[in-house]
Every structure is written in C-alpha cells, then in structure tokens.
Amino acid sequence: MSETVSIDKAGDDGDEVVAPDSRLIGDEPGLSGLVRGLRRRLAQGELGYLPVLAGLVLIWTIFQLLNNRFLSPQNLTNLVLQIAAMGTISVGVVLVLLLGEIDLSVGSVSGLAAAVMAVLNVKNGWPAWAAIAAAIAVGLAIGLVQGLWITKIRVPSFVVTLAGLLAWLGALLFVLGGTGTVNLSDPVILGLINTFFGPVVSWAIAVAIVVAYVGALVVDRARRTRARVPLEPVRTIALRVGALVVVVVAATAMFQQDRGLPLAVVLLVGFVVIFDVITRRTRFGRHLFAVGGNAEAARRAGIPVNRIRTIVFMLASLMAAWGGIMAASRLLAVNQSSGGGDLLLMSIAGPVVAGVSLFGGRGSVWGALLGALVIVSISNGMDLLALDTAVKFMVTGGVLLAAVASDAVTRSRRKSAGRA
C-alpha cells in the first residue's frame, strides 16, 4: 500500500516549501525505514559519490598504514600534480561517456597538441600563449572532424576514434620530426604545473570557494521557493557546507606545509566546476543527458542529436589538448611517447571507477576528479611500496573491472525495478 505524503506549500505569507522528512524521497518512517532506504539506494546506485569517497578513504588508510609517508604533505602535493593531466583529459571523457559513446583518441590528441605547442614555441619562437592557443585549436579541429565523421557518415565512435588514435600518433611523430624530443624552457608553459600560491592567495581562494558555493545554494533555494517545489532540509545543506569547509581548509593547510597551493589544482577544479555547471544547469546539459539516455527519444523530442554529439567530441578533444599541455609542463619536454603509455586507459578508467556509466545518461563531471584521485592514489601508493609495474596494472585492472561490473549490476536492477 502506498503512503500519502503531505508537503507544506508556500502560502501567501511567504512560507518556504519544505519536505517534512525523508519520506518525500520514498523512505519509510523510523530508523528501520532509513536503513532500508539506504540499502535500496546502494543497490540501485543512488548514493552518489559516497561509495567512491569511502573507497578513497580506505585506500589512503591502507597505504598510510603500510608507508607513513603516503599522507605526508609532500607526497599528497605530488599526487595531485600527477592527476593534473589525466584529470583534465577525463573531464572531456566524462562528456563522451554521458552520451554512451567512447573516444579512444584522447591520448594521441593530447600528445599531438603538446607537440604543436612545443614546436611552435621552441623552434619557431612563438609566444607561449600563442603556441598554447594553437594547440587548443588543433584539439578543437580534431574533435570537429571526428564528430562530423561520426554524425554525418555514421561510423561508430569506437572505429572513428580508434583510427584517430593511430592517425594522430602519426601526426605527432611528423610534427616532432627527426629530433624526437623538444625540451621546454618557457616560464609560462612550465609555470602551469610549477606555480604555487602562498598563504595569502591560497586562503583567499579557499574563502572564495566556500562563499561561491554558499551563494549558489542560496540562489538555488530562492529559485526553488519561487517555483514552489520542495526544498532540501536546512540540516542537509548545513552538512554539505560543513563538509566542503572541512575539505577546503584541510587541503589548503596541507598544501601550505609543502610548496603552497598548486596552480594546476586550481585549473583542474575550475574545469570540473565549469563543466559541472554546464551539464547540470544549462539546456545543453539537459540535452546531453537526454541523448545519452535515449537518442531516438531525444531526436523525436526535437533535440539536435547530431549537433550535441559533435560539440561533445570537440570538447573532449579540447580537454585532451589541454591535458597534453599540462603533461608537457610537468615533464618539461614533449617526445614521441607523449600521450602514450597508460594515459588513455587511465583517463577512461577514472570516470568509470567514480560511477560514470559506460551505457550513457548517468554520471557527473566530478567523476573525472574523484576517479583520477582513486586511480593515481593506487599507483602512487604502490610506487611508495616499490611494487612491480605488473602488480600495479593488475590491481588497477581489477578495480576497473569491479567498477564496470557494479555499473552493469546497478543498471540491471534499475531496469528490473522499472518493470516492476
């Protein structure tokens, strides 16, 4: 028997619309109802990033117990610098995964863009920002070509981007020419990774983040009040703000114990926030999820499916290009192996581990950051333990397989619940 839940609506006196309790989202009253509700959400993948965060805490705890240097400020700073390139590429990969598509070319695109920047800056004397802009333009052009090939000629994205993986790798070798390696020395390019903010700027950024988040919550609450829709309980909002304050303060204090707040972290988090707003707060974002959920239904609803797909592949290549620039800044050079190795696999594995569905229509851009933290934390921890590369790959592969299996099971349960 279904239970009717009453919701207080805003009256003429301006009272807020507030959900009286958690039953608004289907929970039964009492502690037992709350436990059953949590179990249901866990089974159906509705707990958001809590499982990922719990897994990250577990990973950090294990490696700290095995090596007390893991959670040192120096190692944590190095860890976040390691995720700068991969996390940036993963932001674009998330958009592609939300479509239910795949882009296997992002590694080669990142290497090619870095090579274009390096050759223009070092060999042709271009200013750093002009060379960077040219590299980003190359990324956008590649994304446009691949997107049009997928939408106009209707070749599957797997095939198009697999061909791109090979083609852009060849272009990378062509651009570098016979030298094979281009060493970077421009302070602007190197400063992307090697710039660290002191206490004043770092704490100012920390305060700005918290203020901006609280401001966004206030605006959203006011909008919901005007629309007379249920509001989140104040205690829930307070918990979210409190959690953010704890994370921001702890991270800022940790960075100050080493070299300071890295510019790379600011850039990566900034990209995540921007694309999170785009996907959740704009018409383009709604169309993106609609296409990923059911492309045919989206087409019948009048959504320009081909345009959405093309733009997404352009954005993915753009972020791949920027990720390649960040990787070049960290390594101080571009060579024939740039964008190679396990960069492609890790850039895709990160979001999947963080819960972005391979089947499209479910996930968040924050999965790029959290997934990168999980993947790189495992790699970093095993490096500190001096484990073989073979062990690292096997462990990472096992984590990825478990994440994909969890996604498949969750999707199956949701379908079963929908039929029921």
3-state secondary structure (DSSP) of residue 251: helix
Model pLDDT, residue 411: 64
pLDDT score recorded for residue 413: 65
- For residues 249-263, one letter each, b for 16 or more C-beta atoms within 10 angstroms of the residue's C-beta and e for the rest, the string is eebbebbbebbbbbb
Separation between Cα atoms, residue 340 and residue 28, nearest integer Å: 51
pLDDT at 1 over 70: no
Categorize the per-residue pLDDT at 414 as very low, low, confident or very high, splitting at 50, 70 and 90: low
**For the chain, what percent of residues have pLDDT higher than 70?**
85
Q: Which range, of 88-97, 199-208, 234-243, 305-314, averages the lowest pLDDT?
A: 234-243
**Residue 351, burial from CB neighbour count under 10 angstroms (0-12, 13-18, 19+):** buried
The CATH number covering residue 349 comes to 1.10.3470
Question: For position 42, what pLDDT does the model report?
Answer: 57
- Report the chain's mean pLDDT, rounded to a whole number: 85
311 or 235: which leads in pLDDT:
311
First and final CA of the chain: distance in angstroms? 15
Q: How far is CA 291 from CA 126, 146, 299, in A?
A: 41, 18, 8
- State yes or no: pLDDT of 408 exceeds 80: no
Give the pLDDT score at 9. Answer: 38
Rounded mean pLDDT, 217-240: 85
pTM: 0.86
Examine the pLDDT at 21 and tell me if it is beyond 50: no
Average pLDDT over residues 267-292: 93
Query: Would you say residue 13 has pLDDT above 80?
Result: no
Query: Which pLDDT belongs to residue 416?
Result: 65
Mean pLDDT of 259-264: 94
Give residue-wise pLDDT tens across range 187-222: 999 999 999 999 999 999 999 999 999 998 888 888
Output the pLDDT for position 19.
36
Q: Is residue 402 part of a domain?
A: yes
Type of residue found at 6: S
Question: pLDDT (tens digit, 9 = 90+) per residue, 310-355?
Answer: 999 999 999 999 999 999 999 999 999 999 888 898 899 889 888 8
pLDDT at 6: 37
- Give yes or no for residue 99 having a pLDDT over 50: yes
pLDDT tens-place string over residues 162-176: 999 999 999 999 999
pLDDT category, 270, cuts 50, 70, 90?
Answer: very high
Label residue 417 by pLDDT band (50, 70, 90): low
278 belongs to a structural domain: yes
Low-confidence winner among 37-41, 254-258, 339-343 (lowest mean pLDDT): 37-41
**Number of folded domains in the chain?**
1
What per-residue confidence (pLDDT) applies to 356? 87
- Cβ 324 vs Cβ 85: under 8 Å: yes
- Give dist(CA 380, CA 376) in Å, integer: 6
Q: What is the structure's pLDDT at 43? A: 55
SS (H, E, C) 145-198: HHHHHHHHCCCCHHHHHHHHHHHHHHHHHHHHHHHCEEECCCHHHHHHHHCEEC
**Residue 32 in this model has a pLDDT that exceeds 60:** no
pLDDT of residue 8: 39
Q: Is the pLDDT of residue 390 over 90?
A: no
Q: What pLDDT is stored for residue 20 in this prediction?
A: 37
SS3 355: coil
Residue 30, pLDDT > 80, answer no
User: In which domain, by residue range, is 183 found?
Assistant: 69-198+260-419
Average pLDDT over residues 259-265: 94
What's the pLDDT score for residue 36? 60
| Angle, in degrees to the nearest 10, between helices 106-118 and 128-152 | 150
pLDDT in tens, 283-311: 999 999 999 989 999 999 999 999 999 99
Is residue 233 included in any domain, yes or no? no
Residue 218 included in any domain: no
pLDDT bracket for residue 399 (50, 70, 90): confident
Contact (Cβ atoms closer than 8 angstroms) between residue 308 and residue 292: no
Q: Quick one: which H or E segment has residue 335?
A: strand 333-335
> Which residues have CB under 8 Å from 258's CB, separation 6+?
73, 74, 76, 77
Task: Report the C-alpha dihedral over residues 359, 289, 355, 233, rounded to 10 degrees.
Answer: -150
Please report whether residue 43 resides in a domain.
no
Q: In this structure, is residue 13 part of a structural domain?
A: no
Assess if residue 31 is contained within a domain: no
In a domain? residue 26: no
Query: Which distant-in-sequence residues (6+ apart) come within 8 Å of 172 by Cβ?
Result: 108, 111, 112, 115, 336, 338, 339
As beta bridge partners, residue 106 has none
